[in-house]
Structure 1
Amino acid sequence: MKKRMLGFWEIWNMSFGFLGIQFGFALQGGFMSRIFQTLDASKEDIPLLWIAAPLTGLIVQPIIGYLSDRTWHRKWGRRRPYFLIGAILSSLALFFVPYSPALWMAAGFLWILDASINISMEPFRALVADKLNEAQRTYGFVVQTLIIGIGTWVASNLPWLVSQLGVSDSADLGVVPNSVKVAFAIGAFVFLISILYTVFTTSEYPPEDMEAFERERKQKSSFVSDIINNIGNMPTTMKKLGVIQFFSWFAFFTMWSLANPSLTEHIFKTPAPVQSDFNMEISEDKEAFNIQNTAFQKSSNLVGSAMGVYGLSSMAFALILVVYTSKRRLNRKYTHMIALAIGGVGFLMMKYVSPEQLKYCFILIGISWGSILSMPYAMLSSSVDEKKMGMFMGLFNMFIVIPQIIAALGGVNFVSGLLGEEAINAMTVAGISLIIAGLCNFLITNKSAISYQPTEA
């Protein structure tokens, strides 16, 4: 099917739902470890508590990709029903997660939240490939990255912003502050509204041969056997991209799970108070806990705000790519390589910067994040069968979640422990991993994946 060239606002509308998805991910990534620490989790246990996130992605994304490939509704299309279901579930989970009274409940809510976000997210990746011809795909993924950057910055600053508006950062032992609760409630609202905007402003192409599509959909086939078959027939370029993704996402999982304990301790000198060190029936202990806990919560706001800067720089990077790729050929391979190396330097600098300089580290990290959200998907979409785009986008997620599972099961604690006991060593590990990911781009040799000339469409 020949697909017409879409204008900027059409691509913007079809990608706008990612604003809500990124609100969910930014609040989860920036503040879930803070919630765990508030509920008395040690920093050594935090990566394991995060294992729900990659595990749900490993299970949910291939299933949703498979189902959405085989879905067609005259009114709602192929991908949009999954956007909507995921948005409703994610909004509910976002609202309730900061009210968790116990650590196990917060971990359970993370499981529900990540599964729900994945239901919405995977079809969005496939929608870009569905709607855009190959000449516009890099452009489309970059616009998506632009919206993700906006969402990351705004959502990461929400607890700090509502705190500035007078909502309290103080809370009793084992209770999440109201500033975090209000921020998550705002995130839940934005998630639902932005997804609804895309659902009602975007149409989808029907299957090119509806009769053949219906026959294929009605054929009895095993989901498991189809998955195994497609893994076996995975394009070589996809496997090579998987190596790059492994080291990229190991680095970012390390950041999401351990940036708050690492940076509050190393840079702000305000580690989370250990609840067992305080007897809350003694007034002096209670006062000491409140002072330490409030300092930790306020520095956590500042860590979250600094992390939000990577959303801004990824947005700026995406804007440059939007302008460039709308008119010119882009070498995706070297763009991704350089961007990942820059982000690695940002992580390595964290060991040496002051609180005021921390934002510069995240500016560099944002450049790599902007590339991670666009270049691999643009390269992948030029390498797979369009009829199985949802399936392969779901399978590609394996290369995102497997490194996170390895990190959660002790990988990041083991590797950072080789460098010493300081919490900041986790950020050093993230930097080294991201630089390795950049070097792995030398593996990519497929010319259509590396570059696509717009005038050839």
Structure 2
Amino acid sequence: MLEIQKKLTNIFYALLALPATAMGFALSIQISALSWILSTKYKLDIHDVGLVWAAGPIAGILGQVIIGIISDNVWFLNGRRRPFILIGGFLAAMMLLALPNIDVISSALGIDGILGVAIAVALTLDLAINISFNPTRSIIADVTPEGVERTKGYTWMQTISGTFGVLAYVIGAVWNNYVLIYFGVFLVLVLSIVPTLFIEEPRYLSKGANQQDKHETKASFGAILGYIEPLWGFLIYSIYAILMRVLNIHFENYYAEIICFVITIVFILKVLLQKSETKSAAEKGLIGFKKVLAAHSFTWVGIQTMFVYMFAYVQYKVFGYDANSVIPEDVSIQMGKVVTISFLIFNAVAAVLPVLVLEPMARKIGKVRTHFLSIASMAIAYAAMLFFGFSPLVIYIIMALLGIGWASTISLPFAIMSQQIDQTRMGLFMGLFNLSVVLPQLVASFGIGQAISAAQDKSLIFIISAVTLSISAILWMLVKEEKVHTETN
């Protein structure tokens, strides 16, 4: 074991963050370039772009949970998480290389049309990212003690990852998205492979401070369904939406969306009303885990809506082109730059805040309260975008405010969640926690995509984002932060 790992130095935290940074960089490229390249180079309609984005979350539903369960129970290449990080990093780099060459691949395979190939590339890319994201986050919990040090691990993860995410958007803004993609191929390979070889994983894991009772955490299908109870409405709608798309059935009404929303609210209320005073520590932890899933899922409905449809908003509100307009190439490039700079600022703020602001704030007032305030600020910023986001400058300012919530979203919930559950099942629960991301992403890609595509005024994008982030903030107020007895100031 390296001396920096024994002493848990800042250098070790930086090294520990690099594999997650590789996957974050790949995701930044996907966010910055995927909608742009599909809309401009390959001329896909907005609903087809949403379908391509849906392919990734579908992969994530299976990828993160299955890889999490497997990585909890294997030991290969002197690691539990290491093999999956190495494989996922290589696949992600190869799919990034394929992204600007979808038409070439389609022609080489003799396939008419590029939608199927685009979905295959996006599916494999996101599956690769998901294969690695689970282990890169789980390994942080594996090698850090509960409490302050683990919070530090996840805030360092976001700071390092966010800094490289900013680099991704700088490259896209200064040069172009093609340079970004090809640079990303090299960076993802290096950062996912090299640091992983120097991190020593523990051969055996203990349950953790809040899980030292006889309650057994199961990984059966029925048990897993029980763990994700607040997400049942999202899950049912995702299955419904996929089937309707495969069968090419379209409904003008939104009855299914309303029913699934009601189901979601019912089961969230059921979780919130559960009494935990007489429960064991492990059972209390599972109730807390379910509350985290409920709150985090609504965060991602709003954030994913922005990620996927920001280009459509800029096209309509800033440049004045509707979905049927013929857009000159130079204008298309300018629109792409506005979106890229927006996400650059968004990620720059998110890179700076975790270590400098969020970690000290979490030490003082607690992780849950800190995250609640961050999400509430994001809801306010989305509302501001709705009323004032009609020029690039104003959009840039609001994106900076949105970065506060983003900084917290991809750092603190991991520390909050990991404190609730059985540490020996970290891979499983990290995969289940990811369902609170990917299932809302499917809702954004299908149901919300259909509504936005039909809406003349693309302000609907930020109405949805503001409402869902407000719901998320309310739900985070109801999450209880468990005290860790081993934690020190």
Question: Partners of 2:371 and 2:450 in 1: how far apart?
Answer: 27
Q: Give per-residue Cα distances to partners, 1:84-126, cap 9 Å, x unaligned.
A: 1000000000011112122332222111100001111101111
* 8 Å CA contact retained: 2:169, 2:344: yes
Give TM-score scaled by structure 2 length: 0.77
Runs of 4+ in structure 1 over 4 Å off = 221-234, 270-274
Question: Per-residue deviation at 1:407?
Answer: 2.0
Partner of 1:202: 199
- Give the letter aligned to residue 407 of structure 2: G
Matched, 1:116 2:128: yes
2:194 is paired with a residue of what secondary structure?
A: helix
Alignment of 1:23-34 (within 5 A): 23-34=25-36
* 8 Å CA contact retained: 2:35, 2:49: yes
Matched, 1:161 2:174: yes
Question: Partners of 2:374 and 2:73 in 1: how far apart?
Answer: 36
* 8 Å CA contact retained: 1:259, 1:427: no
Q: Give per-residue Cα distances to partners, 1:31-85, cap 9 Å, x unaligned.
A: 2111221222222443233111211111100001011101113x43111111110
Partner of 1:256: 307
Among 432, 437, 441, the residue aligned to 1:395:
432
* 8 Å CA contact retained: 1:26, 1:155: yes
Partner of 1:375: 412
Partner of 1:423: 458
Matched, 1:331 2:366: yes
Partner of 1:133: 145
CA 355–453 in structure 1, closer or farther in 2 if over 3 Å, else same: farther
2:488 is paired with a residue of what secondary structure?
A: helix
Question: Per-residue deviation at 1:132?
Answer: 0.5
- Give the letter aligned to residue 95 of structure 2: A
Among 54, 57, 60, the residue aligned to 2:60:
57
* 8 Å CA contact retained: 1:271, 1:296: no
CA 157–106 in structure 1, closer or farther in 2 if over 3 Å, else same: farther
Alignment of 1:262-281 (within 5 A): 262-269=313-320
Question: Per-residue deviation at 1:16?
Answer: 1.1
Among 141, 145, 149, the residue aligned to 2:162:
149
Partner of 2:487: 454
Question: Partners of 1:17 and 1:263 in 2: how far apart?
Answer: 33
Question: Partners of 1:272 and 1:8 in 2: how far apart?
Answer: 49
Q: How many residues align?
A: 406
CA 410–262 in structure 1, closer or farther in 2 if over 3 Å, else same: same
Among 426, 446, 451, the residue aligned to 1:409:
446
Question: Per-residue deviation at 1:452?
Answer: 7.7
- Give the letter aligned to residue 145 of structure 2: N
Partner of 2:470: 435
Question: Partners of 2:34 and 2:60 in 1: how far apart?
Answer: 17
Partner of 2:51: 48
CA 208–272 in structure 1, closer or farther in 2 if over 3 Å, else same: closer
Among 66, 80, 83, the residue aligned to 1:81:
83
- Give the letter aligned to residue 395 of structure 2: L
- Give the letter aligned to residue 184 of structure 2: G
Partner of 2:250: none
* 8 Å CA contact retained: 1:336, 1:375: yes
Question: Partners of 1:5 and 1:230 in 2: how far apart?
Answer: 35
Further displaced range: 56-65 or 29-38 = 29-38
Gaps of 5+ in 2: 104-113, 207-217, 230-282
Question: Partners of 1:425 and 1:155 in 2: how far apart?
Answer: 28
Question: Partners of 1:446 and 1:18 in 2: how far apart?
Answer: 25
Question: Partners of 2:395 and 2:486 in 1: how far apart?
Answer: 39
Matched, 1:247 2:298: yes
Question: Partners of 1:318 and 1:446 in 2: how far apart?
Answer: 19
Question: Partners of 1:370 and 1:26 in 2: how far apart?
Answer: 14
CA 100–67 in structure 1, closer or farther in 2 if over 3 Å, else same: same
Question: Partners of 1:238 and 1:92 in 2: how far apart?
Answer: 35
Question: Partners of 1:228 and 1:350 in 2: how far apart?
Answer: 37
User: For the aligned residues, what is the CA RMSD?
Assistant: 2.6
1:203 is paired with a residue of what secondary structure?
A: coil
- Give the letter aligned to residue 301 of structure 2: F
- Give the letter aligned to residue 316 of structure 2: E
CA 154–140 in structure 1, closer or farther in 2 if over 3 Å, else same: same
Question: Partners of 1:425 and 1:322 in 2: how far apart?
Answer: 31
Q: Give per-residue Cα distances to partners, 1:389-439, cap 9 Å, x unaligned.
A: 11111111111111111222213543x589x52123212311221122111
Alignment of 1:211-250 (within 5 A): 224=221, 227=224, 235-250=286-301
* 8 Å CA contact retained: 1:138, 1:325: no
- Give the letter aligned to residue 110 of structure 1: A
Partner of 2:346: 310
CA 335–51 in structure 1, closer or farther in 2 if over 3 Å, else same: same
Matched, 1:100 2:102: yes
1:454 is paired with a residue of what secondary structure?
A: coil
CA 452–255 in structure 1, closer or farther in 2 if over 3 Å, else same: farther
CA 231–302 in structure 1, closer or farther in 2 if over 3 Å, else same: closer
Question: Per-residue deviation at 1:453?
Answer: 7.6
- Give the letter aligned to residue 297 of structure 1: I
- Give the letter aligned to residue 318 of structure 2: I
- Give the letter aligned to residue 349 of structure 1: A
CA 424–42 in structure 1, closer or farther in 2 if over 3 Å, else same: farther
Question: Per-residue deviation at 1:376?
Answer: 1.3
Give TM-score scaled by structure 1 length: 0.82
1:63 is paired with a residue of what secondary structure?
A: helix
* 8 Å CA contact retained: 2:47, 2:453: no
Matched, 1:300 2:336: yes
Partner of 1:180: 177
Matched, 1:191 2:226: no
Q: Give per-residue Cα distances to partners, 1:301-355, cap 9 Å, x unaligned.
A: 22112211111111121132466179x4441121111101212222222232321
* 8 Å CA contact retained: 1:145, 1:374: yes
